[in-house]
């Protein structure tokens, strides 16, 4: 049996990859690895990296002649994933189409009920599910025996076979099948503070999240139970990436690399003992880290340590977002980052549930204070997005921010909500107590004083890709507020303010 796996043409719509650099999609590469190990012929097609349009995608399917086509799906790229299903069916109606990925786990019923071209949905972790699915199709067995999928029975009814148990021992999985893609086309390089342009590779060493942030989909996708590769296995993969792909920089894609500080201490010890010449980026929980661990991480190669503050106001951060730490803990982390000499990368979000204008302004003030504590701080900001299956989606529907009958599978439904597709993907934005003038003011007031300016290309892209009156209104407001701050800065430079 031949299995073809796709990343859709627009990839993951992540802003950090807007300058022509990207990282491999590890999810489908794990699936490819387990399929290959079972003797299945696999073709991995990162359509985004290859620059494929729909005609080239159809030709690739025609050429490979797969029995099964699978596509990884995020909420941002879901409509491209759905279109790829349609494309596969046009090439050959007998192809079995499969959708997986984070969006599918969060919006499974909505997808199976509205996208008629998809035959099967793979829910949650797919490595074991996909092997059982191939076996069932090869042997013409009932799909009802395959745990972890949605499929349509002979009557056309959607059937869920039940959740599959999580993979408790991640060491049993093979390395992602990076050899099946053209790695050089990813142009994945990171320029470090020493001025060196380092060849980078990404790795994920753990799954799960025991925390409860109201906007986050990770517990839905991976479950709340944390599971991690052993330190020995982590080092084996890092050395594999260095030896085979020339990696000089590792991007740990774990949601919380330090979920088990003892484990992380051992990983860092092994990097140091083996004298591996690497730098790395990771995401941390600042309420699970101390200075000795950070010092060891710096010695091992820590370049950038990211973490979520999310909101400047304590009520919003602790009671709404559910990040149960005081802002002083973040300030302590920033002071340590300056002393130890690594770049801290805090995340902030504008327009939280119940957040007032006065509370929202605290976020900008905290951002300024953060930058003052450590000028190297790399601050990331976003307007709050609503994702399916999250607590925030429930809140958004209760408040009418999302219509009660909103479908994630209907493109026209995006006209019923607020979104900025050109800048932030096809994901609804959450707007509760703040109005758009206030949200724009928060975004632009920070942008006007930071090194991360709003680029001309981003402005142009937003204008060219307008698709609704709502988008036009939001972009017009953002443009006026941006103009206000640019004029204000000119006056400051002239000494008139």
* Model pLDDT, residue 453: 59
Kindly state whether residues 21 and 134 are assigned to the same domain.
yes
* Grouped pLDDT means (10 residues each) for the chain, 497 residues: 94 56 92 97 96 97 98 94 97 98 94 96 96 96 95 90 94 97 92 94 94 86 90 98 97 95 98 97 95 98 96 97 95 97 96 97 95 95 94 96 96 91 84 95 81 59 67 88 86 77
Instruction: Provide, for the chain, the percentages of residues in helix, strand and coil under a 3-state DSSP scheme, each rounded to the nearest 5.
Output: 45, 15, 40
Strands of the 96-100 sheet, one edge to the other: 41-46, 2-7, 68-72, 96-100, 120-122, 149-152, 158-160
The CATH number of the domain where 49 resides is what? 3.40.50.280
Kindly state whether residues 20 and 113 are assigned to the same domain.
yes
In a domain, 129, yes or no: yes
Kindly state whether residues 378 and 286 are assigned to the same domain.
yes
User: Taking a C-beta distance cutoff of 8 angstroms, is the pair 124, 166 a contact?
Assistant: yes
Kindly state whether residues 113 and 193 are assigned to the same domain.
no
End position of a domain, from candidates 357, 384, 411: 384
Kindly state whether residues 77 and 206 are assigned to the same domain.
no
End position of a domain, from candidates 384, 417, 442: 384
Kindly state whether residues 122 and 71 are assigned to the same domain.
yes
Core vs surface per residue 449-468: b (16+ CB within 10 A) or e:
eeeeebeeeebeebeeebeb
End position of a domain, from candidates 333, 352, 384: 384
Kindly state whether residues 128 and 254 are assigned to the same domain.
no
Residue 331 is part of which domain span?
Answer: 188-384
Secondary structure of residue 439 in the 3-state scheme: helix
Number of separate domains in the chain: 2
User: Taking a C-beta distance cutoff of 8 angstroms, is the pair 444, 478 a contact?
Assistant: yes
Kindly state whether residues 14 and 121 are assigned to the same domain.
yes
In a domain, 433, yes or no: no
| Alpha helix (H) residue ranges in 286-345 | 291-300, 314-315, 327-340
In a domain, 54, yes or no: yes
In a domain, 415, yes or no: no
Helix (H) or strand (E) holding 383: strand 380-383
Cβ neighbour number for residue 142 with a 10 Å cutoff: 11
Kindly state whether residues 24 and 105 are assigned to the same domain.
yes
Dist CA 183 CA 199 (whole Å): 11
Dist CA 259 CA 205 (whole Å): 11
In a domain, 298, yes or no: yes
Could you list the beta-strand ranges (E) of 177-318: 189-191, 197-203, 206-207, 227-228, 249-252, 279-283, 302-310
In angstroms, the first-to-last Cα distance of the chain is: 71
Kindly state whether residues 147 and 222 are assigned to the same domain.
no
Secondary structure of residue 203 in the 3-state scheme: strand
In a domain, 460, yes or no: no
In a domain, 479, yes or no: no
The closest of 320, 349, 346 to 333, measured between CA atoms, is: 346
User: Taking a C-beta distance cutoff of 8 angstroms, is the pair 150, 105 a contact?
Assistant: no
Dist CA 272 CA 235 (whole Å): 11
Kindly state whether residues 28 and 135 are assigned to the same domain.
yes
For 390-411, the DSSP string reads SHHHHHHHHTTSS-TT--TT-G
The contacts of residue 492 (CB under 8 Å, 6+ apart) are none
User: Taking a C-beta distance cutoff of 8 angstroms, is the pair 425, 391 a contact?
Assistant: no
Kindly state whether residues 94 and 136 are assigned to the same domain.
yes
In the beta sheet, which residues pair with residue 206?
228
In the beta sheet, which residues pair with residue 281?
251, 304
Length of the chain, please? 497
Secondary structure of residue 120 in the 3-state scheme: strand
Dist CA 216 CA 213 (whole Å): 6
* Model pLDDT, residue 222: 83
Dist CA 410 CA 201 (whole Å): 35
In a domain, 405, yes or no: no
Core vs surface per residue 277-306: b (16+ CB within 10 A) or e:
ebbbbbbbbbeebeeebbbbbbebbbbbbb
The CATH number of the domain where 285 resides is what? 3.20.20.70
Q: 78-91 vs 54-64: helix axis angle to the nearest 10?
A: 50
């Amino acid at each position: 049996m031949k299995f073809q796996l796709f990343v859709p043409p627009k990839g993951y719509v992540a802003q950090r990859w807007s300058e022509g650099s990207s990282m491999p999609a590890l999810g489908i590469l794990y699936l490819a690895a387990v399929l290959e190990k079972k003797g299945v012929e696999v073709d991995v097609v990162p359509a985004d990296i290859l620059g494929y349009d729909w005609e080239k995608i159809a030709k690739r399917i025609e050429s490979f002649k797969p029995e099964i086509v699978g596509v990884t799906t995020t909420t941002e790229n879901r409509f491209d994933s759905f279109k790829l299903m349609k494309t596969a069916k046009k090439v050959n109606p007998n192809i079995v189409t499969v959708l997986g990925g984070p969006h599918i786990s969060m919006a499974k019923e909505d997808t199976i009920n509205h996208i008629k071209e998809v035959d099967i949905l793979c829910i949650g972790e797919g490595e074991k599910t996909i092997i059982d699915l191939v076996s069932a199709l090869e042997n013409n067995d009932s799909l009802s025996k395959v745990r972890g999928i949605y499929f349509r029975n002979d009557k056309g009814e959607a059937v869920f076979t039940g959740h599959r148990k999580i993979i408790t021992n991640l060491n049993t999985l093979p390395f992602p099948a990076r050899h099946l893609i053209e790695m050089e086309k990813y142009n994945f390089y990171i320029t470090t503070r020493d001025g060196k342009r380092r060849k980078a590779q990404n790795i994920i060493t753990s799954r799960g999240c025991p925390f409860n942030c109201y906007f986050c989909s990770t517990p839905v996708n991976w479950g709340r139970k944390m599971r991690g590769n052993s330190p020995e296995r982590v080092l084996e993969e890092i050395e594999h990436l260095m030896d085979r792909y020339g990696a000089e920089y590792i991007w740990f894609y774990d949601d919380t690399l330090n979920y088990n500080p003892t484990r992380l201490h051992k990983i860092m010890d092994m990097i140091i003992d083996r004298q591996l010449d690497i730098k790395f980026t990771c995401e941390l929980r600042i309420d699970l880290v101390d200075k000795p661990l950070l010092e060891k991480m710096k010695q091992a190669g820590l370049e950038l340590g990211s973490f979520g503050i999310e909101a400047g106001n304590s009520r919003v951060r602790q009671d709404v977002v559910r990040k149960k730490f005081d802002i002083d803990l973040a300030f302590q982390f920033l002071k340590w980052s300056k002393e130890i000499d690594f770049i801290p990368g805090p995340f902030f979000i504008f327009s939280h549930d119940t957040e007032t204008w006065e509370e929202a302004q605290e976020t900008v003030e905290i951002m300024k204070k953060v930058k003052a504590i450590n000028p190297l701080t790399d601050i990331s900001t976003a307007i709050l997005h609503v994702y399916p299956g999250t607590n925030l989606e429930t809140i958004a529907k209760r408040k009418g921010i999302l219509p009660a009958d909103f479908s994630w599978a209907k493109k026209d439904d995006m006209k019923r909500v607020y979104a900025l597709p050109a800048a932030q993907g096809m994901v609804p934005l959450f707007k509760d107590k703040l109005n758009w003038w206030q949200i724009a003011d928060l975004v632009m007031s920070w942008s006007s004083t930071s090194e991360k300016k709003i680029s001309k290309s981003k402005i142009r892209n937003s204008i060219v890709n307008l698709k609704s009156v709502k988008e036009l209104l939001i972009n017009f407001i953002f443009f006026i507020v941006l103009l206000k701050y640019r004029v204000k800065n000119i006056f400051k430079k002239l000494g008139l303010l």
